[in-house]
Structure formats: C-alpha cells, structure tokens
Amino acid sequence: MANITVVLREEISRVARKEIKNQTKALRKTSAEHRKKIAEMRRQISELQRKVTFLEKQVLKNIKTKVGEDDTGNFRFSAKGLRSNRKRLGLSATDYGKLVGVTGQTVYMWERETTSPREQQVESLASLRRMGKKEARARLEGLAKKAK
C-alpha cells in the first residue's frame, strides 16, 4: 500500500508541475517581451542623451563666439577708459572688480597700467561699458545676496 501512495504522490506532483509550467508560460513570454522593450528604451534614452549633450555643446560654442564678436570686436582696453567708466558708474575699485569678477587691487593695477586684463576679463569690461548706474548697483546687490 505504501508503494501506491508514493507513486500517486509522484504522479500528482508531476502533473502539478506540468500544469504550473503551462500556466506560467504566457507570463514568462510577456515578461521577456517587456524586458526587451525596456532594454531598447534604455538604449534610445542613452542615445538621445548623447545627442542632447552634443547639441548643448554646439549651442554654447555658438553663443560664446557670438558674444565674443559683439563685445570685444570694437573694444580695446585702455587704463584711462577703465578709470573714466568706473568714475561714470560711481563705483569704487572694489565694487567695480566685483562686477568684473576680480579684486579691487586688480582694477587698481589695470588703471595704473601695471598689468592688463585677460581676454575673458576684457569681455566683462566691454559689457560694463554699456551699463548704467542703476543697473550696476542692482548687479552689485544681486551679487551681495548670492554671497549671503
């Protein structure tokens, strides 16, 4: 009798495994399809991200070249012009330096013709030439708020 129970138990287990396998086959198939779609979407996302970074670099290059041409195309640095522009704006050398992104000592040395500004600093100086007193004060206040 023990032999029949063992055989019956094994047969029930075999049939149950077969039935479970048949019922989960559809689930496995859809799961595999979803994994394939997810992998394809990840590839597309990474490709699009590469394209976006490339295009961002291109746009930044174009902006920099356009700004450089507009600002420094007709601007030559002169110590006398720097001094008169700073006086026109009513700023100290320290405040003027904050707007340019340098120290007040550097502005003082530029005015005394001890040193001369770099190309990037010349661009900043060119943008300050078109600025009024109110705008200069507003920028200084904005820089002070950022510093806090």
**Which residue pairs, CB below 8 angstroms and at least 24 apart, start in 87-92?**
88/133, 89/128, 89/131, 89/132, 89/133, 89/136, 90/133, 91/136, 91/140
pLDDT of residue 64: 53
Distance CA 105, CA 81 (A): 17
pLDDT bucket at 128, cuts 50 / 70 / 90: confident
Q: Which pTM value belongs to this model?
A: 0.50
- What homologous superfamily does CATH list for 77-147? lambda repressor-like DNA-binding domains (1.10.260.40)
